[in-house]
Structure 1
Amino acid sequence: MSSFNDSQSMLELADTLGVSVSDQLSELTSLEFQEMKVIDFLPEMMIMIRSLISKEGFTYQRKPITVIEKGLLISFQNMFKERKEATAETSQPLPEERPHVRITPSRMASEVNFPKRSHIRQITILVEMRYLQQFLGRDQSKFSPLFEAENTFWIEEFMSPEIAVLVNEIVTAAPEGTLLDAYYRLKSLNLLYHLFKNLAYRQARPYCSMSTAEMEAIYRVRNAMSTSLDQALTIAELVKLSGMNELKLRKLFKQVFGKGLYDYFQHLRMQEAARLLKEERLSVSEAGYRLGFTNLSHFGRLFEACMGMKPKKWNTQNQQG
């Protein structure tokens, strides 16, 4: 197991992964690391824990990972709580994405956007494909599109409560605990178990390889939806924004996010409703009206379908002390 605590760790990590960053060193110096840890189980798996602040906005061109021939890169984004005390510079909340899980082939190059003064917290697992297939056993056929070499895909999944708990258990592990390597391996495999259990609920359908332009278009649509939670954008507006025809937009959106446009939008609204109830301590009716609902019974039914219980009960159980 290796552990690092300064920006030099990014260069060491890139070298370990076989990814050159020499042409973007100046941009990477704008990253302020709050925490950085690498748990190396290669050639089977590597776990990377990072919490950082981007002092300046820039786009990082991530090159293909070459340390393993074929694998998946699975990032659990913004799911864990900070372990360190806040400093004067970081005491104010900074913008960050909603918690989610993102899966891409390790061989795929990608653009990573760092908005100015944004906070990124992530656990990333690099897992070798044959090791993952062996782990999934007889159920690996359910996920065959992920293992096909010709597929270039990008999958995003909502956070589940089980995954959130495991992520925080990994981050808060004692640095010198007994059997620490075994602990990290066990927790990471447990994360993969819950992730693939959730993915198994997705409707089986052929996967389409996606170009960078198509991925960017899908995320333009998703981002537009997430910033207009009180009023749904029309299909015509989303189609125009994507630059695709409606059929292709619906197909690729569901491939990436596992839900159709309408269901995904409602799920985003319910996640925001839960945040408003817990963090801003709004009443159920205030949260519903804030998100554009005029029929609170409809709001309650959607919330229960998404969160597993009625909003009033959820609010009672999840209020912070």
Structure 2
Amino acid sequence: MSDVKKKHEMYYWAERLGVSLNSSQPELEMLYLNELKIVDLMPEMLVMVRSVVAKQTFCIRRKPITAFEHGISISFQNIINSRLNTSISDKKILQQMQPHVRIMPLHVESDVCFPKNINIQQVTIIISLDYLKSFIGKDNTKFEYFFNNEKTLWIEEFMSPEIAEVVNEFSLTKTQETLSDAYYRLKSLELLFYLFKNLSTRANITHQYLSKYELESVYRVRDRIAVSINKPFIQDELVKLSGMNVIKLRKIFMQVFGKGMYSYYQHLRMQEAARLLREEHLSVSETGYQLGFSNLSYFGRLFERHFNMKPKKWSRNKQ
């Protein structure tokens, strides 16, 4: 399917979901659609597989999705392995972002940004809350914040290996000729199972309403942490950046990301350590020093705590 046909399909489905993209058409012309696959399982679900590259950095304002009376969007962002047939001349300049899962309500507006030359790959499930509640069954009481107060719902979760495996299988599978709806429904429910299994381990906290300002603030802090993993963690700087007091920032950060700021920082460091060992083939000492560890014994213990394996052994097993 050509890029033009893919964009026509994207505009068509946006209209069906109640989200007109006409006002954003000039910006979207800067977007190269490497892949677009939409599976219609409405009224329970709609599934979209998308891989895009922006020729220039731009943002658009996504309007509320009205096709579902009560629903959420679950987006598995930045697939690890996917086809890349982009017309961008120098594919070496394309960058990948940290895989994660973002959950948000359909009734709110949100800014969707496309950074230049970033390969954004995602599987998005738009799902009715009634259907989701039925799927979870009797354990839905553990996730009351999903169903009792939709306004508070804005969550980001790391992509576990189990989720990544299914997401990649989902994205790489060609359209099924036989029982295609059954296949994609089954894979979608498998993703939801692993996601809610992970979410069930989060600390039990009271979810509060989050304003646009609070969300923007907490993401500023998250972004600062993400680009500073080779530097010492300084909480006072993050508090100042957020414009909130430390207690409020800690609470909102935990609500959205499921970890405290320092735990999040260490998690990102270990994910990057695993990448450096696996993809860059750095030694354990080179990896530790590059991430700002002066004590390599501590680095080794922290790595083993995250991956249940010493970094040297993990590196050998992944080669």
Tell me if TM exceeds 0.5: yes
Matching of residue 136 in structure 1 with residue 114 in structure 2: no
1:300-311 counterparts in 2 under 5 A?
300-311=300-311
The C-alpha deviation readout for 1:113-136, integer Å capped at 9, x for no partner, is 111222110000001000000000
Q: 1:286 to 1:127 in 2, by over 3 A?
A: same
Q: Matched residues in 2 for 1:56 and 1:88: separation?
A: 12
The 2-side partners of 1:22 and 1:142 are apart by 40
Q: How far apart, in 2, do the equivalents of 1:237 and 1:138 lie? A: 43
In the TM superposition, what whole-angstrom CA distance separates every residue of 1:204-230 from its partner, at most 9, and x where no partner exists? 111011111111111111111111111
Identity %: 51
Looking at structure 2, the residues matched to 109 and 253 of structure 1 have their Cα atoms a distance apart, in angstroms, of: 21
Secondary structure, counterpart of 1:151 in structure 2: helix
- 1:19 matched to which residue of 2? 19
* Aligned 1:135-214 pairs, distance under 5 A: 135-149=135-149, 151-214=151-214
Distance 1:225 1:174 in 2: 37
- C-alpha RMSD of the superposition: 1.5
The secondary structure found in structure 2 opposite 1:205 is: coil
CA distance in 2, matches of 1:47, 1:95: 25
Listed as ranges, the matches of 1:42-121 within 5 Å are 42-85=42-85, 89=89, 91-121=91-121
Q: Provide the rounded CA distance (Å) in 2 between the counterparts of 1:92 and 1:150.
A: 41
C-alpha separation in 2, matches of 1:250 and 1:124: 28
Tell me the distance in 2 between the aligned counterparts of 1:315 and 1:209: 43
Task: Give how far 1:24 is off.
Answer: 1.3
Runs (4 or more) in structure 1 with deviation over 3 Å come to: 84-88
Deviation at 1:106, TM superposition (A): 1.2
Distance 1:129 1:245, change over 3 A: same
Paired residue secondary structure (2:213): helix
For the residues of structure 2 that align with 1:103 and 1:162, how far apart are their CA atoms? 18
TM-score normalised over the length of structure 1 = 0.95
Provide the C-alpha distance between the structure 1 equivalents of 2:92 and 2:67, rounded to a whole number of angstroms: 38
Equivalent residue for 2:244? 244
Distance of aligned partners of 1:183 and 1:90 in 2 relative to their CA distance in 1, 3 Å threshold: farther
* Contact kept in structure 1, 2:105 and 2:150, CA below 8 Å: no
Question: CA 1:219/1:179 → structure 2, altered by over 3 Å: closer, same or farther?
Answer: same
Quote the Cα distance in structure 1 between the aligned partners of 2:107 and 2:310. 43
Which region of structure 1 is more displaced relative to structure 2, 16-25 or 38-47? 16-25
Closer, same or farther: CA 86–106 of 1 in aligned 2, 3 Å: closer
Shift of 1:152: 2.9
1:90–1:68 Cα change, 3 Å: farther
- Kindly indicate whether the alpha-carbon contact (under 8 Å) linking 1:17 and 1:65 is maintained by their aligned counterparts in 2: yes
Deviation at 1:295, TM superposition (A): 1.2
- Give structure 1 stretches of 5+ with no counterpart: none
Choose 160-169 or 21-30, whichever is displaced more.
Answer: 21-30
1:284: which partner in 2? 284
Match of 2:229 in 1: 229
Task: Check whether the contact 1:304–1:310 (CA below 8 A) recurs between aligned residues.
Answer: yes
SS in 2 for 1:222: helix
Measured after TM superposition, the shift of residue 175 of structure 1 is 2.2
1:88 and 1:65 map into 2 onto residues whose CA distance is 31
State the Cα distance separating 1:177 from its structure 2 match.
Answer: 4.0
Deviation at 1:298, TM superposition (A): 0.8
Aligned equivalents of 1:95, 1:58: Cα separation in 2 = 16
TM-score (norm 2): 0.95
Deviates more, 1:169-178 or 1:37-46: 169-178
For the residues of structure 2 that align with 1:196 and 1:176, how far apart are their CA atoms?
27
Rounded to whole Å, the distance in 1 between the matches of 2:221 and 2:42 is 37
Aligned pair in 2 of structure 1 residues 23, 176: CA closer, same or farther (>3 Å)?
same
Q: What is the letter of the counterpart of residue 240 of structure 1?
A: K
Instruction: State yes or no: 1:266 paired with 2:263.
Output: no
Residue 126 (str. 1) matches residue 119 (str. 2):
no
Task: Tell me how far 1:81 sits from its aligned partner.
Answer: 1.5
